[in-house]
Amino acid sequence: MSSTPTALPDPMTLREVYQQQQPYTRMTPLLVSESLSKLIHGDVLVKAESLQKTGAFKFRGAIYRLLLLTPEQKQQGVTAYSSGNFARGLAAAGKILNVKVTLVMPADAPENKIASAKKLGANVVLCQQMEPSREEAAQKLSEDIANQNGSILLHPFDDPEIIKGQSAVGVELMQQLQQQQINCQSLLCPVGGGSLVAGCSLLFDPFHTSTQVFGVEPEGYAGMNQSLLVNHLSRAPGKNLSHCDALLARSPGKANFEVVRQTSVKGLRVSEHFVVEAVQIAFEELKLVLEPSGAIALGALMQYPAQFRGQTVVAIATGGNVDKALFTELVNK
């Protein structure tokens, strides 16, 4: 991995990307959380990407990535691995743009994510192998399949074009904040592989705005946090049990890490206890169904309220694709 800074896409380019995907995506609302605002003695806004088409922000990157394919590539179809939300997003994007999609998913991915990818017409291959990690095993299998069937191999997060696609959350958020004349001091992004936090940090970097971007990870899977601390790509132990099935990548994507080290992103680790409380508060106060991974940024505010005292904070709620059995268990905990 090179440590020479590479040229990053500028906000103007990212606004164009947003415009390209806009005919297919939804503008998601920015909702006030009164209880979290009270907790930090400030203002907390939740960007509800759980209300995005397919129930997660991942659709944005997926549709943009497929829009970039040439007609020949569209004919070939695409193959990708994903723990769930990118799978569902890519399946939906493929259906809309008439591109054949093959998905490799971990066998322990949530049922609702597997079922909805299939329902959208994707060819789903379940990967039983979990070593060296479920992500790496699935990646290897997707490479093999793409080689065999001659389709285009896509990476769910470690791809500069996917970063651009996910940055649309940041473009849209910036427009909403400007319209409402809100100045936000902190922006909290859940991190799995890190494409969302990378994309958002391109908009909200400290050189051009007064916003500090945070990458929020579950304890035990904080590969981005760790990489930022030691300033090179690093690997989390990945031994804890976590309900954050979308955030279990042990290392950030290389392309994502290249961006965030240049945009001064900071890291936060959230324990499972606060993830569960965040799912509950989303249900009780905001009337949002959030999956644990999607609620983790709210959990960060509950775990570290003093750090955000008096601030205006935006927490991105990235997805709502949770099995009903797990949701029931967490809400009643």
CB under 8 A, 24+ apart: contacts of 72-75: 73/152, 74/98, 74/99
Residue positions counted in the chain: 333
Residues 292 and 280 sit within 8 Å (Cβ to Cβ): no
| Cβ atoms within 10 Å, residue 18 | 23
Helix 324-331 crosses helix 272-281 at what angle (to 10 degrees)?
90
Among positions 260-279, residues that touch a copy of itself (CB under 8 A) are none
| Cβ atoms within 10 Å, residue 75 | 12
- Find the shortest distance in angstroms from Cβ 246 to a copy of itself: 14
Among positions 9-38, residues that touch a copy of itself (CB under 8 A) are 26-29, 31-32
Residue nearer to a copy of itself on the CB measure, 27 or 229: 27
Q: Is 179 in the site for a copy of itself (CB under 8 A)?
A: no
Q: What is the 3-state secondary structure (H, E, C) of 138-190?
A: HHHHHHHHHHHHCCEECCCCCCHHHHHHHCHHHHHHHHHHHHCCCCCCEEEEE
Residues 54 and 116 sit within 8 Å (Cβ to Cβ): yes
Tokens of 34: 């009164």
Residue nearer to a copy of itself on the CB measure, 65 or 88: 88
Residue nearer to a copy of itself on the CB measure, 152 or 313: 313
| Cβ atoms within 10 Å, residue 219 | 18
* Cα separation, 203 vs 314, whole angstroms: 14
Residue nearer to a copy of itself on the CB measure, 174 or 228: 174
Stretch touching a copy of itself by CB under 8 A, among 74-82, 138-146, 271-279, 317-325: 317-325
Q: Is 94 in the site for a copy of itself (CB under 8 A)?
A: no
Q: Is 320 in the site for a copy of itself (CB under 8 A)?
A: yes
Q: Is 288 in the site for a copy of itself (CB under 8 A)?
A: yes
* Cα separation, 190 vs 176, whole angstroms: 20
- Find the shortest distance in angstroms from Cβ 58 to a copy of itself: 14
Q: Is 290 in the site for a copy of itself (CB under 8 A)?
A: yes
| DSSP code of residue 233 | -
Residues 187 and 212 sit within 8 Å (Cβ to Cβ): yes
- Find the shortest distance in angstroms from Cβ 56 to a copy of itself: 9
- Find the shortest distance in angstroms from Cβ 90 to a copy of itself: 16
Stretch touching a copy of itself by CB under 8 A, among 10-18, 193-201, 222-230, 323-331: 323-331
* Cα separation, 32 vs 323, whole angstroms: 26
Residue nearer to a copy of itself on the CB measure, 3 or 332: 332
- Find the shortest distance in angstroms from Cβ 323 to a copy of itself: 10
Residue nearer to a copy of itself on the CB measure, 95 or 140: 95
| Cβ atoms within 10 Å, residue 10 | 11
Residue nearer to a copy of itself on the CB measure, 31 or 99: 31
Residue nearer to a copy of itself on the CB measure, 33 or 139: 33
Q: Which residues contact 18 (CB under 8 A, 6 or more apart)?
A: 167, 168, 171, 172
Among 42, 55, 61, 84, binds a copy of itself (CB under 8 A): 55
Which x/- pattern over 106-125 shows residues binding a copy of itself (rule: CB under 8 A)?
------x-------------
The candidate with the shortest Cα–Cα distance to 186, out of 38, 313, 19, 52, is 313
The contact set with a copy of itself (CB under 8 A) reads 26-29, 31-32, 48, 50-51, 53, 55, 112, 283-290, 320-321, 324-325, 327-328, 331-332
